[in-house]
Chains A and B, each alone.
Chain A
């Protein structure tokens, strides 16, 4: 059995705490993610899936409960520790890419390494290596505004991978891509997951994109409503199962 790399215990998130407009977005979510998992998180709009991914990955602060990444309680870390911890353990990919528009693609990819004070020659070697793998070598001196959506997302992936993180956190990474680019990205994720053992936690609303994962959770009303393990299923069977669960949940909601 693989080791647990990410664990939440009774994770809770309340917005507008202490006001009349307080909203509980997550309540008592407990989950374990093992090394090498490719976990897809699905759920209807407003179900709390983005809140979930933000709160398990240090980019938002939970109201209650605890999050452990590689055995460390991230909620108990100081602001400085969190920064270093992110660099050592996590890579982030977002729907909007979140690249610095005034920096070249090279500078964007190199940013985590420069912040960590890595030797410039080593930075260059790593950026060049990743650019080759992701086929973006010709883009390195361009600004994000000069690249297509698919190219920008590849750059964002390169930035997320540049520090060899054990866990990739991806929030709707295919949301701004066409289907061809989206599928290509999922194949890349699957390859990273299978060949390099990178753990991936990905939010998506698309059942087909979720079918690239090895495990899936449905979030509804701020809690995990169901889980699905791919096991030995091939992608088509897994996809059919996701669609089935997804539509049966919808039917239940309608009834």
Chain B
């Protein structure tokens, strides 16, 4: 009965289930390619190798082995993406879960109900991910041959072992997430759609008074945020570190300068155009709840781009980084979309209030369009400030052609733009629903 219900729930979830599945599929395909490429390189006796066990990890990392660094980085990033995708999928089912709870469903039944859906999606994603990997390997081999490499990627037993170990980890991770959601949720929180209070620490983003000291710190943070833009031109080594530093500074810039400025803007606009003020108000909340995913996106993309050019990489290393860059860019854009859509879904009360204050029909559509445009504009701007300058620095140092730089920027920007379009479609469906 639970299996039948879970299947039906998957069918009812429609596009949400497709996006959730897409995360599994992309992760699966990336992992399959990644581990087999890396293991093929090991057998090809290049300097590129993965650790045989975790005890060796620190040693290899300190020796600057990129394979280990990549392995840790890619696995962590994929896990974070999966956490957000799972969050989005499960939280869209809060009412359904609440109704099951009040109908007498036990904790085990709820956890099993969610887990079966996840496992079914994984069962379809894994073979298709492997199949995609198998199709791509010959393509990559041709590219490697044309680049003059003697390396040949083939299916490696150890690569498969690593792939299945990581996939097993993903299954365990989603199981723990779903069980914890079923355990910690009370029926009343889910019935009220009060999913934010399950996660939120109750902090408010907008400070009422910005003291002189805070202002000075925020201005200094702005300087630190801009500093990497100049440092990129001094050399390609350390780009990832500069970006990381910039992200820490960005947090302070957002809380200390950007948000108070946005609040002032909302106050001014409220009198002139309430719909406009609503869009800015929602933008403020969007940035508040999704800013960690924005930082992740920024760090991921710049770390991977800098990995491509900070050393004399072998062709397979470049290919590995490029593959990871493409997949992680897509996954991160999806993650950001999931996080935003979870926020949009939890706003039913706000939408009712919008109706009550006369913001309905075309006005509501305008608010929705403006909010999405502003949000994705913000994300793109924050990303492109760094990405554009990294590309510029690489072009100047003749590490990169202008065409290749445009491709790299497009790989980061296009998934974001598509995610923005999908987010607006979803937003409209929530408003109309």
Flag whether B146 is at the interface (Cβ < 8 A): no
Q: Is the CB of B96 within 8 A of A83?
A: no
A84 CA to B191 CA, complexed, in Å: 19
Q: Is the CB of B12 within 8 A of A59?
A: no
Q: Is the CB of B109 within 8 A of A86?
A: no
Identify the closest chain B residue to A100 (Cβ): B99
Q: Is the CB of B99 within 8 A of A80?
A: no
Q: Residue B98 contacts which of A21, A79, A98 (CB distance < 8 angstroms)?
A: A98
A98 — which chain B residues lie within 8 A by C-beta? 95, 98-99, 102, 191
B104 — which chain A residues lie within 8 A by C-beta? 83-84, 86-88, 112, 115-116, 163
Q: Is the CB of B188 within 8 A of A59?
A: yes
Q: Is the CB of B101 within 8 A of A59?
A: yes
B8, B107, B187 pick with most chain A CB within 10 angstroms: B187
Flag whether B363 is at the interface (Cβ < 8 A): no
A116 CA to B103 CA, complexed, in Å: 9
Flag whether A121 is at the interface (Cβ < 8 A): no
B98 — which chain A residues lie within 8 A by C-beta? 98
Identify the closest chain B residue to A98 (Cβ): B99
Also in contact, A111 and B202, with CB within 8 A (given A54-B188, A59-B191, A79-B183): no
Q: Is the CB of B105 within 8 A of A115?
A: yes
Q: Is the CB of A79 within 8 A of B106?
A: yes
Identify the closest chain B residue to A169 (Cβ): B102
A102 — which chain B residues lie within 8 A by C-beta? 8, 12
The secondary structure that dominates the B interface is helix
CB distance from B294 to the nearest CB of A (A): 26
Flag whether A92 is at the interface (Cβ < 8 A): yes
Number of interface residues of A (CB under 8 A): 31
- B 56-99 to A, binary, CB cutoff 8 A, 1 in contact else 0: 00000000000000000000000000000000000000011011
CB distance from B280 to the nearest CB of A (A): 25
A92 CA to B100 CA, complexed, in Å: 12
A58 CA to B108 CA, complexed, in Å: 17
Q: Residue A115 contacts which of B95, B96, B107, B109 (CB distance < 8 angstroms)?
A: B109
Q: Is the CB of B186 within 8 A of A61?
A: yes
A99 — which chain B residues lie within 8 A by C-beta? 99
Q: Residue A114 contacts which of B1, B101, B183 (CB distance < 8 angstroms)?
A: B1
Q: Which of B178-218 touch A at CB < 8 Å? A: 182-183, 186-189, 191, 202
Q: Residue A19 contacts which of B102, B109, B202 (CB distance < 8 angstroms)?
A: B202
Q: Residue B107 contacts which of A58, A80, A94, A114 (CB distance < 8 angstroms)?
A: A80
Q: Is the CB of B103 within 8 A of A79?
A: no
Q: Residue B188 contacts which of A60, A84, A115, A163 (CB distance < 8 angstroms)?
A: A60
B100, B101, B103, B106 pick with most chain A CB within 10 angstroms: B103
Flag whether A117 is at the interface (Cβ < 8 A): yes
What is the count of residue pairs linking A and B with beta-carbon distances less than 8 angstroms?
71
A144 CA to B182 CA, complexed, in Å: 26
CB distance from B190 to the nearest CB of A (A): 9
Q: Which of B118-144 touch A at CB < 8 Å? A: none
A16 — which chain B residues lie within 8 A by C-beta? 202
A114 — which chain B residues lie within 8 A by C-beta? 1, 5
B12 — which chain A residues lie within 8 A by C-beta? 102
CB distance from A144 to the nearest CB of B (A): 11
Identify the closest chain A residue to B203 (Cβ): A19
B103 — which chain A residues lie within 8 A by C-beta? 86-87, 111-112, 115, 159
A61 CA to B8 CA, complexed, in Å: 31
Identify the closest chain B residue to A88 (Cβ): B104
Q: Which of A63-95 touch B at CB < 8 Å? A: 78-80, 82-84, 86-88, 92, 94
Identify the closest chain A residue to B182 (Cβ): A79
Also in contact, A117 and B1, with CB within 8 A (given A59-B101, A98-B98): yes
- A 101-125 to B, binary, CB cutoff 8 A, 1 in contact else 0: 0100000000110111100000000
CB distance from A168 to the nearest CB of B (A): 12
Also in contact, A111 and B99, with CB within 8 A (given A60-B188, A61-B186, A116-B104): yes
Q: Residue A100 contacts which of B96, B110, B189, B202 (CB distance < 8 angstroms)?
A: B96
Identify the closest chain B residue to A78 (Cβ): B107
Q: Is the CB of B108 within 8 A of A115?
A: no
Given contacts A83-B107, A86-B102, A98-B191, 13 further A-B pairs with CB under 8 A are: A59-B101, A80-B107, A82-B106, A83-B104, A83-B109, A83-B110, A84-B104, A84-B106, A98-B99, A99-B99, A102-B12, A114-B1, A115-B100
B: residues with CB less than 8 A from A are 1, 5, 8, 12, 95-96, 98-110, 182-183, 186-189, 191, 202
**24 cross-chain CB contacts under 8 A:** A19-B202, A21-B202, A59-B102, A59-B186, A60-B188, A60-B189, A80-B106, A80-B108, A82-B106, A82-B107, A83-B101, A83-B104, A83-B105, A83-B106, A83-B107, A83-B110, A84-B104, A84-B106, A86-B101, A86-B104, A98-B95, A115-B103, A115-B104, A159-B103
